Amino acid sequence: MLHDSSDVTSLMLRSTGLEDWHVERIASSLGDNTRLKYLNLNCNNITADGVQHVLSLVRNHPQLETLA
């Protein structure tokens, strides 16, 4: 999905129809990223299961400043 995500500093994915499995892949793809500061997942189809992946992403990316 994000083959070389090491330089990504922001992802604006508002209203893109994302579901839980998308969030899981995004979180996995951003595993080695140390620069992500802004992530917008508003207005998508993310359930409590998807939120667990978002929380994992937040825990693994302390440099994240904004989650929307």
Q: Give how far Cα 35 sits from Cα of 13, 21, 39, 44, 61, Å.
A: 17, 23, 11, 24, 8
34 belongs to a structural domain: yes
What is the pairing mode between strands 10-12 and 66-67?
unpaired
Backbone angles phi, psi at 2, to 5 degrees: -115, 80
**pLDDT score at 3:** 59
Position 4 in a domain? no
- Say what percent of the chain tops pLDDT 70: 93
pLDDT of residue 52: 95
Q: 2 in a domain, yes or no?
A: no
Q: Is residue 33 part of a domain?
A: yes
What angle in degrees, to the nearest 10, is found between the helix axes of 48-60 and 20-29? 10
Is 15 part of any domain? yes
Structural domain for 43, as ranges: 10-67
Q: Does a structural domain hold residue 1?
A: no
pLDDT digits (tens, 9 = 90+) for 31-49: 888 899 999 999 999 999 9
Supply the pTM of this predicted model.
0.85
Spell out, as residue ranges, where the chain has pLDDT lower than 50.
Answer: none
Number of domains in the chain: 1
Q: Report yes or no on 21 lying in a domain.
A: yes
